[in-house]
Amino acid sequence: MVGRSPSQEGTSKMNILVTGANGQLGNSVRKIADNYKQHHFLYTDMPEVDITDLHLLEDLVKKENIGAIINCAAFTAVDKAESCEELAARINVDGPKNLALAAKSVGAKLVHISTDYVFDGKSCLPLKETDPTQPIGVYGKTKRQGEIEVEKTGCDAIVIRTAWLYSEYGNNFVKTMLRLGKERESLNVVYDQVGTPTYATDLAYAIMVLLEKGFNGFNTYHFSNEGVISWFDFTKAIFEIAGLKTKVNAIESFEYPTAAERPAYSVLNKRKIKEAGVSVPYWKDSLVQCIKLLEN
């Protein structure tokens, strides 16, 4: 089983275009790139490289002799998407489609990231890649349509659906809870939404494992960390690891209304990606690593 190990000797050199490279996942790819020194990474983000601009992308992949694209760019503001459907669709649907077309034009591979929000959360068993999708909000709908558009282009592409992403970078649940935990004596957190967090560093390694193995055609994989918890349990663990005494009250989702409804059950089945050689660390082990880095 390979996973966090640096790339194998003999893997052929690739010029890898990383889009949305200033986000959580993009920064996590940068962080691990030293383990893949035989490749050349080209990090891009807005405003210079806008994934909604097909011509720019086609020129870029040709000029830079790109062999693979890792798309970390997305419209990720789940609640805002409810009132910004057009913009969300441009970035989450047209964007990946453009990247797939640009990749196809030079015979490059595309790794595109999607989400557990393509499901309605009504399952009670870990979700497989083949389970029917049924997004319940605008963000999930646009992400699902993005997957479909990538597949339709016929480019060599992998879609990796992930969930509850956090990292040392940008804004995320772990960083918000660490801040609130230091400011407040108690917090209310929902216990009726269940899933598995994903440390973006682990996802970055998973991407590189699949890229280095190589692939043809279209395939979908699920990746999160291992285990099953609620947001309430996650918060308790964050505070415990960080040594914070903040009290956490378990509440139900109706007590914390948001513009976009969240899926109640978001656990992803990782059998397929494990069989492809990717290791899936336990959520708490990865959380400890991330909090250590944040506290230092």
Ligand X SMILES: NC(=O)c1ccc[n+]([C@@H]2O[C@H](COP(=O)([O-])OP(=O)(O)OC[C@H]3O[C@@H](n4cnc5c(N)ncnc54)[C@H](OP(=O)(O)O)[C@@H]3O)[C@@H](O)[C@H]2O)c1
Binding ligand X by CB under 6 A: which of 11, 38, 52, 219? Answer: 52
Among 8-16, 55-63, 163-171, 247-255, the segment contacting ligand X (CB under 6 A): 163-171
Q: Give the Cα separation of 206 and 109 in Å (integer).
A: 15
Can you say whether the dihedral through the CA atoms of 99, 101, 103, 105 is positive or negative? negative
H or E element, residue 229 = strand 229-230
Pick from 16, 57, 72, 278: which binds ligand X (CB under 6 A)?
72
DSSP sequence for 184-219: -SEEEEESS-EE--EEHHHHHHHHHHHHHH---SEE
Residue 123 near ligand X by CB under 6 A: no
163 binds ligand X (CB under 6 A): yes
Q: Is 24 in the site for ligand X (CB under 6 A)?
A: yes
Q: What is the C-alpha separation between 118 and 5, in angstroms, rounded?
A: 31
Q: Does 263 bind ligand X (CB under 6 A)?
A: no
- Spatial neighbors of 99 by CB under 8 A, at least 6 apart, are 19, 51, 57, 69, 71, 110, 112, 150
Q: Is 233 among the residues that bind ligand X (CB under 6 A)?
A: no
Q: Does residue 18 belong to the site contacting ligand X (CB under 6 A)?
A: no
Judged by CB under 6 A, the number of residues near ligand X is 26
Print the binding letters for residues 129-148 with ligand X: x by CB under 6 A, - otherwise: --------------x-----
14 binds ligand X (CB under 6 A): no
Residue 205 phi, psi dihedral angles, 5° rounding: -65, -40
3-class state of residue 244 by DSSP = coil
Helix (H) or strand (E) holding 41: strand 40-43
Is 22 an interacting residue with respect to ligand X (CB under 6 A)? yes
Give alpha helix (H) positions in the chain: 24-32, 54-63, 78-81, 85-89, 95-106, 138-153, 173-183, 200-213, 231-242, 271-275, 283-295
Of these, 138, 165, 242, 267, which contacts ligand X (CB under 6 A)?
165
Q: Cβ-count burial of 163 within 10 angstroms (0-12 exposed, 13-18 middle, 19+ buried)?
A: buried
Question: Is 159 near ligand X (CB under 6 A)?
Answer: no
| Candidate list 162, 196, 225, 246; residue touching ligand X; CB under 6 A | 162
Annotation says 43 is catalytic: no
Shortest distance, CB of residue 185 to ligand X, whole angstroms? 27
From the list 23-31, 150-158, 227-235, 241-249, the region that binds ligand X by CB under 6 A is 23-31
115 is a contact residue toward ligand X (CB under 6 A): yes
**51 is a contact residue toward ligand X (CB under 6 A):** yes
73 lines the binding site for ligand X (CB under 6 A): yes
CB of 45 to ligand X, least distance (A): 5
By the 10 Å C-beta count (0-12 exposed, 13-18 middle, 19+ buried), 255 is classed as: exposed
Strand, helix or coil at 105?
helix
Catalytic-labelled residue, pool 36, 43, 139, 191? 139
Active-site annotation, residues:
139
Question: Interface residues with ligand X (CB under 6 A)?
Answer: 19-20, 22-25, 45-46, 49-52, 72-74, 76, 91, 95, 113, 115, 143, 162-165, 170
